[in-house]
Amino acid sequence: MLTIGLIKEGKVPTDNRVALTPPQCKWLLKNRPDVRVLVQSSPGRCYSDAEYRQAGVTVTDDVSGCDILLGIKEVPIEQLLPHKTYLFFSHTKKKQPYNRAMLHTMMDRGITLIDYECLEHEDGQRIIGFGFFAGVVGAHNGMMAYGNRTGAYQLGHVYQHKDYRALIHTYFGLKLPNIKIAVTGSGRVAHGILEIMNLMDVQEVEPEDYLGRKFTYPVYVHLKGRNLYRHQVTGEYMREHFHHHPEEYDCLFPQFSTCTDILMNGTYWAEGVPRLFEWEHLLRDDFAIQTIADITDDKGGSIPCNLGDATIQDPVYGVNKRNREKTPPYLIDNIDIMAVGNLPNELPRDASRYFGEQLIKHILADLLGNGSDTLDRATILEAGKLTPYFDYLQDYAAR
């Protein structure tokens, strides 16, 4: 019999999401008699210990007897148990320096690491994640920031509402000014942004109309890869080629910056991918953007003026366009940035339910069975050693 453990989140600030909700654990126990589930006691989860107990799940402080440990964020070094299989968002695939010591410890302790972020379909699409709710919360926060800046309308914080359904009710009667919003990206984050655009009755328009027309109602344009990037020689956009050779492409977004009030950024970014704009663009007289919701939140990434994370309680800061320093938000000559690394924590129960559904539907059978190519491609460490799929991390993993 395999034992799965839901671990207590140890990273500070503590994440309140879970990989499996109490009803999902109950379903698992009923339908997989070969599986045992333990939940490590935690006061900070969006689902309480009592709710897990009511679902028939054992709650304990000791998960050392588990075979597979499911978390959300990075596990503190002192909490890593030797020779276990862990699943969590490790934030190591881009060689993030702040998690290098954690990877070294996992190697020393013979740990197998499967990263949720690397679980992909054959075409490269992510299988599970919290991206949709990151998009929902990020879009709401971006709209909230613009309302605070202009005084045209007012929105409260997402975390002040019980759940997603309660949040939606706050949009009834909301009247937005005649603004233009640019939405970038094509994954789950972008889908969450578009959900809020539709709920707020913002109308979609084509790129050419967005650039060339004025409207008497709020509109948004959805910019995907083919709208944002062009090969420097052929003038075309080829998705697969772009992902392998992004340095050969120019970004077309600056033309949209001249008529955009709010930018909702949902694009994936990695080293070599052209930024949406550069610092110099901020100083142009025709740069119109006042508020940026950088929902994918890469510091200094696709949004160069992302100076790092804000918090759920205080999600917006200003940036001085000339000296490039952080300021209080909503100052006239500055640009406002909404950048929060744990946006789904504002709707933790909804986000956890969605995440667990995808985990059960697409991953759990392989995880509890004989494995799969999908799992292999997401396994960064096997018993403490880098797998062939992550050979490129050799220098990062070296001492």
pLDDT band at 370 (very low <50, low <70, confident <90, very high): confident
- Residue 268, marked binder: yes
- For residue range 222-240, list pLDDT tens digits in order: 999 999 999 999 999 999 9
For residue 13, which of 159, 189, 188 has the smallest C-alpha distance?
159
Residues 116 and 87 sit within 8 Å (Cβ to Cβ): yes
Q: Can you tell me the distance from the alpha carbon of 60 to that of 241, in angstroms, rounded to the nearest whole number?
A: 49
Q: Is the pLDDT of residue 264 over 90?
A: yes
Is it the case that residue 330 has pLDDT exceeding 90? yes
- Show the tokens assigned to 159: 């975390």
Give the per-residue pLDDT at 110.
98
Q: Are 383 and 178 contacting, i.e. CB atoms less than 8 angstroms apart?
A: no
* 300 annotated ligand-binding residue: no
Amino acid found at 157: H
For the domain bounded by 131-346, which CATH number is listed? 3.40.50.720
Decide if 259 contacts 286 (C-beta within 8 A).
Answer: no
User: How far is it, in rounded angstroms, from Cα 140 to Cα 158?
Assistant: 8
Q: How does strand 249-251 pair with strand 229-231?
A: antiparallel
Listed by start position, the domains of the chain span: 2-111+347-397, 131-346
Per-residue pLDDT at 158: 97
> Residue 328 class from Cβ within 10 Å (0-12 exposed, 13-18 middle, 19+ buried)?
exposed
Token pair for residue 282? 């901020």
- pLDDT at position 13, please? 81
SS3 content of the chain, % helix, strand, coil (to 5): 35, 15, 45
Nearest Cα to 88, choosing from 68, 62, 110, 58? 68
Per-residue pLDDT for 271 more than 90?
Answer: no
Is 324 annotated as a binding-site member? no
Residue 201's closest CA among 231, 161, 228, 173? 173
Q: What is the chain's mean pLDDT, rounded?
A: 96
Strands lying side by side in the sheet with 335-338: 203-204, 219-223, 180-184, 262-265, 291-294, 335-338, 316-319, 326-327
Q: Where are the beta strands (DSSP E) in the chain?
A: 2-6, 35-40, 58-60, 68-70, 85-88, 112-115, 180-184, 203-204, 219-223, 229-231, 249-251, 262-265, 291-294, 316-319, 326-327, 335-338, 379-382, 385-386
In angstroms, the CA 314 to CA 312 distance is 6
Mean pLDDT for 29-48 is 95
Over pLDDT 90: what percentage of the chain?
A: 94
CA distance 75 to 390: 20
Domain 2-111+347-397, architecture per CATH: 3-Layer(aba) Sandwich (3.40)
pTM of whole model > 0.85? Answer: yes
Nearest to 265 by CA among 235, 295, 308: 295
Q: What would the pLDDT profile of 139-156 be if each residue is shown by its tens digit?
A: 999 999 999 999 999 999
Cβ atoms of 262 and 289 within 8 Å: the answer is yes
Q: What is the pLDDT of residues 1-24, one digit of tens each?
A: 899 999 999 998 889 999 999 999
Residues with a catalytic annotation lie at: 73, 91
Residue 124 — pLDDT band, cuts 50, 70, 90?
confident
**Fold: same for 2-111+347-397 and 131-346:** yes
Reported as a single tens digit per residue, the pLDDT across 154-188 is 999 999 999 999 999 999 999 999 999 999 999 99
pLDDT band of residue 399 (cuts 50, 70, 90) is confident
Strand positions, DSSP E, 194-344 = 203-204, 219-223, 229-231, 249-251, 262-265, 291-294, 316-319, 326-327, 335-338
pLDDT band per the 50, 70, 90 thresholds, residue 306: very high
